[in-house]
Amino acid sequence: MPQATRDIKRRIKSVASTKKVTKAMEMVSAAKMRRAVAGVLASRSYSDLAWQLVSRLVLESAGELHPLLTRREKVKKAALVMISGNRGLCGGFNAQIIQRTNRYLKEQSDKGIDVSLITVGKKGRDFMAKKNYPLVADFIKADATVDITEIRPLAHLLIEGYLAGQFDKVALAYTDFISTLVQKPTIIEILPLPSSDGNDLGRVSSQLPISNFPGPSEAEGRIAALEYLFEPSPVEVLNELLPRMLETKIYQAVLEANASEHSARMVAMRNASEAAGDMISELTLIFNKARQAGITAELADISGGRAAVE
């Protein structure tokens, strides 16, 4: 067999082996994606409604009931939590959230705000460390977050820093899961609680606006404000409620990021498998042409030798 056809055959075998790997990774990512998406869809409604409850409290109290609800007039220091992936081979998932984070850091720097960065995930941490950006803390990101207690240390760090005056505001950078093919890097403000009623994670907020909550009708001339009764006292209730709301917000963001990462990886591996299949088809065609050309050349030599003998 000529050297050219041997090289092509060796390359076909190599690409076929790569295709087996990418196909296996696609199947694993698809299984993880189904679980992650199910978790996101199951928790979105609760997270959205809980956050809107806090929004109501802010609107009714003007942020005076608790320090976590009070917006500071001058913002000089901020904290940003960036949620990225632990591994690559997921298309532009990590690159997009890193780019969005860099843009936010530049915007805040132009405003004279010093941002402390907290990372969740190895890829974001490694990139920022390579750029010599100072990190306040780094948290391990589980491949599949199943319990809200996993993010409780992060929530405690943010709450204690905000109450102690280390941060004047806290933002969260994550990738919002829209569909299997679409994931959007997003930054929302989570402290003070909440920054606005439009910062709900996911897409449930468009279906459940605050104005649709059961309340007095304007047509009947009732007062639009809702009255809340706190037992035993507003401070004691909010001391327990608000940290749970912040944990819920961060937990939902981690779920959104997990679903986005597994979806992006599944799509990337599927594209890689399809590209490998196309390459195998092209190489097979080239191999057949080279083999046919070799056979034709050998037949021509045989015919030429016979004619010379005759």
The CA distances from residue 305 to 266, 293, 295, 299, 300, in Å, are 58, 18, 15, 10, 9
Q: The domain containing residue 44 runs over which residues?
A: 39-203+227-266
Q: What is the largest CA-CA distance in the chain?
A: 116
- Residue corresponding to tokens 């016979």: 306
Q: What confidence score (pLDDT) does residue 240 get?
A: 85
Residue 12 lies in a domain: no
The CA distances from residue 110 to 81, 105, 269, 285, 286, in Å, are 19, 9, 39, 57, 56
The CA distances from residue 51 to 75, 153, 184, 233, in Å, are 23, 20, 21, 21
The angle subtended at Cα 148 by Cα 212 and Cα 114, nearest 5°, is: 85
pLDDT in tens, the chain (310 residues): 566 788 888 999 999 999 999 999 999 999 999 999 998 888 888 888 888 877 777 766 656 778 888 888 889 999 999 999 999 889 899 999 999 999 999 999 999 999 999 999 999 999 999 988 989 999 988 877 678 888 999 999 999 999 999 999 999 999 999 999 999 999 999 988 764 544 555 544 333 333 343 443 443 333 345 566 777 777 788 888 888 888 988 999 999 999 999 999 999 999 999 999 999 999 999 988 888 887 887 777 777 777 777 6
Residue 139 lies in a domain: yes
- What is the rounded CA–CA span in Å between residue 268 and residue 96? 15
Residue 10 lies in a domain: no
Amino acid identity at 215 = G
pLDDT tens digits, one per residue of 150-184: 899 999 999 999 999 999 999 999 999 999 999 99
pTM reported for the whole predicted model: 0.81
> Could you give the strand order of the β-sheet that contains 114-120, starting from the edge strand earlier in sequence?
135-139, 114-120, 77-83, 169-177, 183-191
Instruction: Look at residues 24, 42, 7, 84 and name the one whose alpha carbon lies nearest to residue 276.
Output: 24
- What is the rounded CA–CA span in Å between residue 29 and residue 266? 5
Instruction: Specify the CATH number for the domain of residue 170.
Output: 3.40.1380.10
Q: What confidence score (pLDDT) does residue 194 get?
A: 67
Q: What confidence score (pLDDT) does residue 61 get?
A: 63
Q: Is 20 tagged catalytic?
A: no
In the numeric block, which tokens belong to residue 104? 């936010």
Cα torsion for 283, 286, 291, 296, to the nearest 10°? 170
Residue 215 lies in a domain: no
Q: What confidence score (pLDDT) does residue 291 get?
A: 84
Residue 310 lies in a domain: no
In the numeric block, which tokens belong to residue 282? 């092209």
How remote is the C-alpha of 26 from its chain's centroid? Answer: 18
Q: What confidence score (pLDDT) does residue 198 get?
A: 46
Number of domains in the chain: 1
Q: What confidence score (pLDDT) does residue 183 get?
A: 93
Residue 22 lies in a domain: no
Catalytic residue (choose from 90, 128, 242, 290):
90
pLDDT tens digits, one per residue of 64-82: 778 888 888 889 999 999 9
